[in-house]
Amino acid sequence: MKKRNTIFVLNDFTFRYLIVVLCLVVVLCGCSGRQNNASSGKLQVLTTTGMIADAVHNIAQDRVTVQALMGPGVDPHLYKATHGDLEKITSADIIFYNGLHLEGKMGEVFRKVSRTRPVIAVTSRIDEKLLRDIPGFEGTHDPHVWFDVQLWQQAVKTVSETLIQHDSINTEFYRENTTRYLNQLDSLHEAVKAAIQAIPQQQRVLITAHDAFGYFGDAYQIEVRGLQGISTVSEFGLKDVTELVNFIIARKIKAIFVETSVSHKSIEAVLEGCRQKGWDINIGGSLFSDAMGESGTDAGDYIGMVNANVQTITTALK
């Protein structure tokens, strides 16, 4: 008797069913997970992005155990939870995520998990007036707040206040480290401003694969264009490529940029379009947009990532 091969398709119903199962497992496993954490003497902190994990590390250092779901080169817009993420979610004492729909469908998971443990969107306390609106999507905002260092300081404060609330014995330690880190971010903000202002005004145009650098443009006075929208889920078409090519040629822009967490296909289409029209343009380098660099490298923490981006941008555009 022959065995039949079965193909399973993850349709919308199946996805919703898995969400329900995940939440049930969280409820059932929550108690045992927390008992294990208590025995270690440290809070178990889970974050989505590396930028948030780095903020936790700067504030708490070795007083907590922190891990990020999304490592270097990972696009949070497209991220899908794996089976291995289940154990991390159920064993965490605190979960920090970006919010503003950066994590896509993961946001629904976190909302349900929040019934059993603290789940905090680090952007939740940022004044809505400071957030960038997304054209055509009323009531939604650009999630890439970390590209404005001063806005990211608000996220850092939310992380700090949450850690103090749930681990009050280390209050003074957390407060001292938060003050130190915020001072470092003040210096970073001023350094970025000075570096971008050194680019000649007519050359101060940043073109990337998707529209992740809007806050960066507003904060540091550099014009920003992205081929795709705020999320990499959105598709780009021939019209989008043609319009961007025409803009580049009209403005005589000499460099455009790829991103470490986004396919290079879109920017390569723009590059080819420019060359077909006789405009010689270069890839100015690779920018860290939705994820930091590898741990242990210059871009492996938030400050290093920002500095690496600024160095790449200024070198290419000056």
**Domain ranges, residue 56:** 14-190
135 alpha-carbon distance from chain centroid: 20
pLDDT of residue 189: 98
Residue 2 forms part of a structural domain: no
Final residue before a domain boundary, out of 126, 161, 190? 190
**Whether 37 and 180 share a structural domain:** yes
Query: Rounded to an integer, what distance in angstroms lies between the CA atom of residue 260 and that of residue 121?
Result: 24
**Whether 239 and 179 share a structural domain:** no
**Whether 55 and 171 share a structural domain:** yes
Cross-sheet strand order for the sheet of 43-47: 64-68, 43-47, 94-97, 119-121
Residue 6 forms part of a structural domain: no
Residue 46 forms part of a structural domain: yes
**Whether 30 and 108 share a structural domain:** yes
Residue 7 forms part of a structural domain: no
pLDDT of residue 199: 97
Query: Above 80 in pLDDT, residue 52?
Result: yes
Weakest-pLDDT range from 42-46, 102-106, 195-199:
102-106
**Whether 228 and 133 share a structural domain:** no
pLDDT of residue 13: 42
**Whether 58 and 206 share a structural domain:** no
Choice between 80 and 21, residue whose per-residue pLDDT is larger:
80
**Whether 156 and 80 share a structural domain:** yes
**Domain containing residue 231: CATH number:** 3.40.50.1980
pLDDT of residue 107: 85
**Whether 75 and 156 share a structural domain:** yes
Query: Above 80 in pLDDT, residue 64?
Result: yes
For 198-248, the pLDDT digits (tens) are 999 999 999 998 889 999 999 999 999 988 766 655 566 788 899 999 999
Query: Rounded to an integer, what distance in angstroms lies between the CA atom of residue 268 and that of residue 277?
Result: 14
Final residue before a domain boundary, out of 190, 217, 246? 190
pLDDT of residue 238: 83
| Cα four-point dihedral sign 288, 292, 294, 300 | positive
Query: Above 50 in pLDDT, residue 286?
Result: yes
pLDDT of residue 232: 57
Percent of the chain with pLDDT over 70: 85
**Whether 162 and 205 share a structural domain:** no
Q: What total of structural domains would you count in the chain?
A: 2
**Whether 73 and 220 share a structural domain:** no
Final residue before a domain boundary, out of 132, 164, 190? 190
**Whether 83 and 133 share a structural domain:** yes
pLDDT of residue 83: 86
pLDDT of residue 66: 98
Query: Rounded to an integer, what distance in angstroms lies between the CA atom of residue 18 and that of residue 291?
Result: 27
Query: Rounded to an integer, what distance in angstroms lies between the CA atom of residue 236 and that of residue 50?
Result: 27
pTM: 0.85
pLDDT of residue 208: 93
Averaged pLDDT score across all residues of the chain: 87
pLDDT of residue 263: 84
Residue 36 forms part of a structural domain: yes
